[in-house]
Every structure is written in C-alpha cells, then in structure tokens.
Amino acid sequence: MNITIFGYGNDSRMADGVAFSLAPRISGYLEERGHKVNLSLEHQLLPESAVDLEEAEFAIFVDASVEKSEEGFRVRRIEAREVFEGLNLHSVSPEWILAMGARLHGKVPAAWLVTVEGELFDFGEELTPLCAERMERALSAFMKLWEERENA
C-alpha cells in the first residue's frame, strides 16, 4: 500500500517537535510491514502538501496538541473537509489538505490523525520525559490499531 505521512511542528519548541520523532518511527513500522511510505517532515502543513497525496492510498498526519485527553494522545480517523473560515498559512488542517487532494487528484485516501499532548512548548530540542512517554504510548496504540485494520 502507498502511504503518505505528514509530520509537522516546530522541532525547536520542545513538545511541538514530537512529530519529528514519532512520524519517522511510524514510517519505519509501516515499511517493515511491506508498505511504501512517503514521509514529509515540515514546520506546518501547506496547501502544496496536497500534491503529495497523488499516489497515496492512506494518509497519516502526526502533530503535537494542546488539547487535554485522558490518554495524553489521540489516534483518530479524519475525513476531507473544506473549511475556509479563518484559513491562512498557519491554520491549514489535515482535513483541508485531504479536500484539496481530492480536488487535485479526484480521490481521497483514508486518513488518520495522530496527536500527542504536549507539556512544554518552550525553546529547546528535547521532549520532556512526560511527552516522550505519551509519544511511546501513541506509537503502541497506532501499531495496535493498524494491525486490527490489516486483520479486518
């Protein structure tokens, strides 16, 4: 399967850079399972990101989050959605990228959003121990859900 992974955030702002650690690990896991993976690591999603969906049969978006959750992370399915209210280069959402990809390529891949709750977003290149632990749990949850998806 052709899979495109978008990891985005600021790797100089502690937890905001969690995708730069997590997305490559998800990519490696999927490649070990025989999938072809296109990995994109950026500071933010841009409209041009939709071009990368041309060959994708599945898309995965990985980001830090300020939203609180019981587990400290979320792995959820997302759908294409054209939301233009307040759209600017700093607020392009994964759903909008999927919708733009559909306009460009005539199809929308299935997609998941993986978010890890951040703790500190100060200047620094290290994840806090708590954020790193949440990332590990997010990776485990992703792998479990992916295996369930493949075995369905």
Q: How far apart are CA 96 and CA 81, in angstroms?
A: 5
Q: How far apart are CA 65 and CA 19, in angstroms?
A: 10
SS3 state of residue 133:
helix
Q: How far apart are CA 40 and CA 54, in angstroms?
A: 14
Q: What are phi and psi of 13, to 5 degrees?
A: -125, 50
- Does residue 114 register a pLDDT over 80? yes
Percent of the chain at pLDDT exceeding 90: 67
Please answer whether residues 29 and 63 qualify as being in contact, where contact means their C-beta atoms are separated by less than 8 angstroms: no
The whole-number pLDDT of residue 142 equals 98
Given the structure tokens 């990519």, which residue do they identify?
A: 27
Segment 15-33 mean pLDDT? 94
Percent of the chain at pLDDT exceeding 70: 94
- In the chain, the amino acid numbered 114 is V
Grade residue 84 by pLDDT with cuts at 50, 70 and 90: low
Q: How many CB atoms lie within 10 A of CB 12?
A: 13
Q: How far apart are CA 115 and CA 125, in angstroms?
A: 18
